[in-house]
Structure 1
Amino acid sequence: MTAPAVPQPAVPDLAPAAPETAVPETAVPQDLHAELLDCLQVNLAWLARSEHGVSPLALGARLEFAPREDAPGALPTVEPATGTHVQHTAAALGLLVTSRVTLPPSTGTPPADPGTVYVVADAFHLPWVPYHGHAHMDHSFLLGRDAAGRAVVRDGYHNDTPYGPARPGTWTLTEAELAAALPDGARAFRVAPAGPPRDATAVVPATPAAVEAYVRAYREHPDREAALARLTLETWLLARARRLHAAHRAAAGIPAPGAEEHVASWGKLAEQTFLAHRRVQRGRPEPAGPLGRLAELLHADTRVFAAPDAGGGDDGALRTVVAEEAAAVLRVTAAELLAGRPLTEVPGFGSFRMVDIVERVEERLRVEFDADDLVPENLHDLDGLCRIAARAHRETP
């Protein structure tokens, strides 16, 4: 689906030239933030931004470490399955997938009804991306028709690959070119607005057990070249997700002291892992550093983005946590609450929402509020919630 954005050697691209760009680059939204998005996210984000006014940074609201295994014994990966990723990306942007159509092999003809479809196909056959003729992976683009009925492809992907740079653009294709780009068929999705973006700002901390299992799988895998090749992609995905989350927080006015340095450390780890892979490819000894550094940075995510310190002394961090959980329940931004908006002025606030907020804060901080503290004067504004949250945090063993 993606490839690491780390320094790569030049590789001659023997694929035919891409179709001629038909629309100037200014057609690409200036605030697409394409360099922060992967090849499936970016074109749903383009659709959401240009047609529904939703910021692509909504995709960075939730940060979660959730590795999965494609098969028993396989290396764990943080790269989600394509179908799941499309569904979650759409929901995070406030979009609903309304239909799915399988475009048959050897034809690029989209469904007859008008409008833009979001398409997932094999990048190996797509002439406008550098993977063309080189690598098989799922890749997305937007497909529509111009006034003359010609196929128009929009692709916002921005990355530096082993086969050259991918940059956002718009291309007009003949019917023959479109059919040649989809020799194995493709999956086409239509989406519609479904309300505001789904996710409030939140971080699901990586548990020590999950980090240890993930790192151990890569450390103990017998094929070191295969393990490091996969780990190169993994660290790129992890670094990109943290850059996106930090950008979302900055735009939303939600502080995360140390985020800039932390994100830079993830970028350095992606480069370090790529270099380790290249050394092993050449028969040289594997450097010992990347896997230890990977564990350190996964644990540091919580310290930088999620929880107050263990003693509860970081009032700013605790206040941010409480605001994020209240915002998630009330479907507003944490920045609004941190700026002083009373909870009682948010439409829909009431006893049921108040209980939801309390339960979410308790779960996030792993504390239990004193029953005597659960009175209206403590629960109707952010200051009151922070007072009882700090007290519960101090009293938790």
Structure 2
Amino acid sequence: MTAPAIPQTAPPADLHAELLDCLQVNLAWLARAEYGVSPLVLGARLDFTPRDHGPGRLPTVEAATDAHVERTAQALGLSLTHRHTLPPGTGALPPGPGATYVIADAYHLPWVPYRGHSHMDHSFLLDRDPSGRAVVRDGYHNDTPYGPARPGTWTLTEEELAAALPDGAHVYGLTRAGVPQDAIEAVPATAAAVESYVRAYREHPDREQALAQLTLETWLLARTRRLHAARRATDANPPAVEEHLTAWGKLAEQTFLAHRRVQRGRPEPTGPLERLPALLHADARVFTAPTGQADPVTARAGTADTTSSDTHALRTAVAEEAAAVLRVPADELLAGRALTEIPGFGSFRMVDIVERIEERLDIEFDAADLVPENLHDLDGLCRITARAHRETP
């Protein structure tokens, strides 16, 4: 598989790929490239309508694939003309000129980090180059547990394309249908919907499964709210909106951390399920409030611990472990460089830092201390490390 020089198919500068999921982004690329439609129309409407999968199963805010594709296409002013299935292991391209929207299993796609790790539906655009070879365009932008996914264009031989589609693929025909759906609206979440949703995750007997799914849920919820904020913003978001988006991002981080803790047999941090309902109820208030008006729920969604710092030796050990994960000199962290300023810092690296500190110092952090407010800077890490060190027998 090679990366060709095809300037005319480079991702548009205003694709906003970091705000779109793996099914939306390539429909948006198609609509932007061929019809000039802004991808931000996909953030015009914000609502909370989780799918109920029946007794004993967890509800999800992620729509079924076909329904999600159809709704996304409609919002972009596109119409689905047909859908057909490519047979397993085919290297044949769909007939006709122009890019084709395709969905296949990410587990087999060689250009995404999910390859060999995770089964999920993933989209891409499939086209031909002048010599007839397959050209894949994929605008997906995300940091995953398996590495970063970034927009790009790749050329595949017939054999490579066949190997990437051992289970076949779904091909969608699309055409311009009319004006994109772009009426801005934030629909308040109902108390019943929020309570039912949170209760299902709180009471699910398999805690690892519940937190694994909730990690995906909070990531999707946080991303859709950033997309909605981007659609609303004419210049910069009001401070209250920025605070709210930050709180959603921290919730997604905290949920991932809780999942990793349970995976390792550690006590489950309760913070995610305590914060989630407050943020869901705050959505509509924050996005529709007059500019600059703070939302009291969002503003208090997590207050940092301000207990004293720790000894020089402990601080050095914490800095060394964080530096090893982030691949920077420990002296930079000891001199005051913020973890959040370092490229690559995020929920995955945050968890790695926590686990390395526990292993090096033979401690176990209190589940209540594992909130993002304590994990984004060296002072916070030192405070909870000192407390865990004192409380460890």
State the TM-score, normalizing by the size of structure 1. Answer: 0.71
**Correspondence for 1:276:** 258
| Mapped contact 2:135–2:156 kept (Cα < 8 A) | yes
Which amino acid letter does the alignment assign opposite residue 302 of structure 1? A
Q: CA deviation at 1:284?
A: 1.1
| Mapped contact 2:239–2:292 kept (Cα < 8 A) | no
Q: CA deviation at 1:23?
A: 2.6
**Correspondence for 1:299:** 281
In 2, distance between residues paired with 1:79 and 1:98?
24
Correspondence for 2:198 among 205, 209, 215: 215
Correspondence for 1:115 among 56, 73, 98: 98
Tell me, which stretches of 5 or more residues in structure 1 are unaligned?
Answer: 1-18, 309-313, 318-397
**Correspondence for 2:209:** 226
1:58 aligns to what SS in structure 2? Answer: helix
For 1:87-126, list aligned pairs within 5 A.
87-126=70-109
In 1, distance between residues paired with 2:170 and 2:249?
33
**Correspondence for 1:81:** 64
In 1, distance between residues paired with 2:291 and 2:120?
46
* CA 315–50 in structure 1, closer or farther in 2 if over 3 Å, else same: closer
- Whether 1:184 aligns to 2:154 is no
Q: CA deviation at 1:256?
A: 5.9
* CA 316–28 in structure 1, closer or farther in 2 if over 3 Å, else same: closer
**Correspondence for 2:249:** 267
Identity of aligned residues (%): 72
Q: CA deviation at 1:241?
A: 0.3
**Correspondence for 1:235:** 218
**Correspondence for 1:341:** none
2:160 aligns to what SS in structure 1? Answer: helix
Which amino acid letter does the alignment assign opposite residue 202 of structure 2? R
Structure 1 runs of 4+ off > 4 angstroms? 253-257, 314-317
* CA 114–278 in structure 1, closer or farther in 2 if over 3 Å, else same: same
Instruction: Decide which moves more: 262-271 or 20-29.
Output: 20-29
1:97 aligns to what SS in structure 2? Answer: strand
| Mapped contact 1:101–1:189 kept (Cα < 8 A) | yes
For 1:285-296, list aligned pairs within 5 A.
285-296=267-278
Q: CA deviation at 1:69?
A: 2.3
For 1:385-396, list aligned pairs within 5 A.
none
| Mapped contact 1:90–1:97 kept (Cα < 8 A) | yes
In 1, distance between residues paired with 2:236 and 2:147?
36
State the TM-score, normalizing by the size of structure 2. Answer: 0.71
Q: CA deviation at 1:194?
A: 1.1
Q: CA deviation at 1:196?
A: 1.5
| Mapped contact 2:138–2:153 kept (Cα < 8 A) | yes
In 2, distance between residues paired with 1:45 and 1:37?
9
* CA 78–315 in structure 1, closer or farther in 2 if over 3 Å, else same: closer
| Mapped contact 1:106–1:182 kept (Cα < 8 A) | yes
In 2, distance between residues paired with 1:82 and 1:161?
20
| Mapped contact 1:256–1:304 kept (Cα < 8 A) | no
Deviations along 1:74-123, one digit per CA (max 9) or x if unpaired, are: 10100110000000000111111111121111103232222211000000
- Whether 1:65 aligns to 2:43 is no
* CA 144–202 in structure 1, closer or farther in 2 if over 3 Å, else same: same
Deviations along 1:253-276, one digit per CA (max 9) or x if unpaired, are: 797661111011000000011111
In 2, distance between residues paired with 1:71 and 1:148?
50
In 2, distance between residues paired with 1:62 and 1:81?
18
In 2, distance between residues paired with 1:55 and 1:23?
25
Which amino acid letter does the alignment assign opposite residue 120 of structure 1? I
In 2, distance between residues paired with 1:257 and 1:96?
38
* CA 316–233 in structure 1, closer or farther in 2 if over 3 Å, else same: closer
Q: CA deviation at 1:239?
A: 0.2
* CA 210–153 in structure 1, closer or farther in 2 if over 3 Å, else same: same
**Correspondence for 1:164:** 147
| Mapped contact 2:240–2:292 kept (Cα < 8 A) | no
| Mapped contact 1:256–1:305 kept (Cα < 8 A) | no
Tell me, which stretches of 5 or more residues in structure 2 are unaligned?
Answer: 294-393
1:140 aligns to what SS in structure 2? Answer: strand
In 2, distance between residues paired with 1:108 and 1:62?
39
| Mapped contact 1:257–1:304 kept (Cα < 8 A) | no
For 1:127-138, list aligned pairs within 5 A.
127-138=110-121
Count of aligned pairs: 292
State the Cα RMSD in Å: 1.9
Q: CA deviation at 1:174?
A: 0.4
**Correspondence for 2:15:** 32
Which amino acid letter does the alignment assign opposite residue 274 of structure 1? F
In 2, distance between residues paired with 1:93 and 1:257?
29
1:258 aligns to what SS in structure 2? Answer: helix
Q: CA deviation at 1:71?
A: 3.9
* CA 220–103 in structure 1, closer or farther in 2 if over 3 Å, else same: same
In 2, distance between residues paired with 1:181 and 1:30?
28
- Whether 1:20 aligns to 2:38 is no
In 2, distance between residues paired with 1:39 and 1:184?
19
